[in-house]
Structure 1
């Protein structure tokens, strides 16, 4: 056996959210290996984060890249299984709801003597048209250890008949990551001066297939955000995902002048933008969490969310992509005090996960 734990990850959010668990392993001298599936094949979106977060470079990079869901997931399963045959870890840890999560879970559960821990278990959007919803449900029902971030997500697992003894509420590891890095980010980052954003501004992220692969929906989203932000004289900074950039070009979309397209940002730079923004517009689950932790009002450009806690505490409004809804949600969020309670824990989720696995 080469390592006790094996982390399977493949996207920016997974790298960030598993970083506190990796650091906890380093502090406790728990041996581990990292399999990077290469699901995000843009250097700006993933590999730079290992350096910036001072994490060890993955021992394995599968470089799977893009492809249809079945093709991509199938390639990952084959490659991950090969690595696990060599490593033979006690536990494989996956995080979230990506194809990397599904592939890592399937590969590990098909092998004798390897348990699976699902970090951020129990989240549900109840929209089975979203591939992420299918991935997270399958991972939860196959895993041996379930680490929901909140009581709400724990209740969902119990409602689906999963045994209570499999479940440990840990808080969300993103709280650990934000708390560990936000001060460092403000000390090191010059992102605002570099982008020419000196005063109040809005931050936009939009990358989900249901938004950017539909021209009419994508245009409505962009126009609605621009109109809502202009009402408050807010320029909009949009670090654009490669998928969204490609669709803007293919659809020949005229992006409103008030929206500034910029390259994807490194984690510390993006953290500064989230922290300093007057308001955040997003279709990302992770950004909903991060803005909630940072006390930045959020408007979610989707018809549902698997992070209902952000809505319940008053940090987030779900509005869809129609202009009227975006405008109403923006007015509501900017009229409120940003004094909600963080529902995602106290920043010790990484330590709790290792405690549960018995690695003290």
Structure 2
């Protein structure tokens, strides 16, 4: 069937982690001649940051922006469902493609499934085993109602089969986040340039000790003043030996301010910045000596870059970053964080890791499978 006769796939994004996943997919669709519409739910609604990511990643402007904004998990999910239904009625897409595990993912998948529209889930089958994480609920439910499931690592298929999902619907294609990383690696901004843009001292980029990148945003780390206070004290201790660059997520900044912890970060060895664009953050990550984070995507990116990663969580839905990468799970206990950091900086930076199918071609595999599926 020629491309002109294919109905479009409605591709959904809603939050910044989605942008890195959808960019290579949209590019591969164009190359494969698969028509696609891009719908942005507006779950992350910082216009400046959205524009930065869309520009940096070469994502086309959304065909539809629902403008949802903030709210509780229930409010966001309900608002997205209510607003996306008439869009699906109007567009009558061949399928709805969702990525990752945010509220936009489950909301749009639910509406599509109830309307009899096939659901495609990219990054399916990842499991942390922690049902207290909203993202884990979103992952499990989205997979249950998906018609095609694309996985990033082989263990994901085992998770899906255990949950009763037909293996014939599952395709191991690799990691689209790594497609984006490789595609943009040479365009990453130098650290000194990024710091200068924020009016900050760029000399940290040339500190003889190197520097560490810090990112924090998960409720389990930032919503409890005792836990967040312990992490801040730990960061202050680390900064005596190793300078830190800390792009602060809006949610985290709000908690730091309300708990009276911002002044504890007021050190010339801890460089706090606003949230960064993709190319800025990638530049800092690729030059860092070690990364401390609670982000799932950064666990994957540091694996591909060969950078030690200390994850401030007790579990991960990306076990391959531990078994084949340099990721260590430490929770939020300061003693475990300090011990892991000591081990990381006392070892030479590792070789970049390439788990199976983490080769920059995952999105091309997805497009090839979908082309055959659409024309069958």
CA distance in 1, matches of 2:118, 2:247: 37
Kindly state the Cα deviation for residue 144 of structure 1 after the two structures are TM-superposed. 0.4
Q: Which of 208, 219, 223 is matched with 1:209 structurally? A: 219
Report the 3-state secondary structure (helix = DSSP H, G, I; strand = E; otherwise coil) of the residue aligned with 1:358.
helix
Change (3 A) 1:278 1:303: same
Q: Which of 29, 34, 37 is matched with 1:33 structurally? A: 37
**Does 2:270 correspond to 1:259?**
yes
Q: Which of 279, 283, 293 is matched with 2:294 structurally? A: 283
Alignment of 1:210-289 (within 5 A): 210-230=220-240, 233-253=241-261, 254-256=263-265, 257=267, 258-289=269-300
Task: Give the conservation status (yes or no) of the 8 Å contact 1:2–1:87.
Answer: no
**Does 2:165 correspond to 1:162?**
yes
Determine the structure 1 residue equivalent to 2:136.
Answer: 133
CA RMSD of aligned residues (A): 1.9
Change (3 A) 1:276 1:298: same
Task: Give the conservation status (yes or no) of the 8 Å contact 1:225–1:326.
Answer: no
Task: Give the conservation status (yes or no) of the 8 Å contact 2:15–2:44.
Answer: yes
CA distance in 1, matches of 2:287, 2:196: 13
Kindly state the Cα deviation for residue 299 of structure 1 after the two structures are TM-superposed. 0.3
CA distance in 2, matches of 1:61, 1:117: 20
Kindly state the Cα deviation for residue 339 of structure 1 after the two structures are TM-superposed. 2.4
Alignment of 1:1-360 (within 5 A): 3-112=7-116, 114-186=117-189, 190-194=193-197, 195=200, 196=202, 197-199=204-206, 200-230=210-240, 233-253=241-261, 254-256=263-265, 257=267, 258-337=269-348, 338-339=350-351, 341-343=353-355, 345-358=358-371
Question: Would you say how many aligned residue pairs link Structure 1 and Structure 2?
Answer: 357
Any stretches of 5+ residues in structure 2 without a counterpart? none
CA distance in 2, matches of 1:54, 1:285: 23
Worse-matched range after superposition: 122-131 or 189-198: 189-198
Kindly state the Cα deviation for residue 188 of structure 1 after the two structures are TM-superposed. 11
Q: TM-score, structure 1 length as denominator? A: 0.94
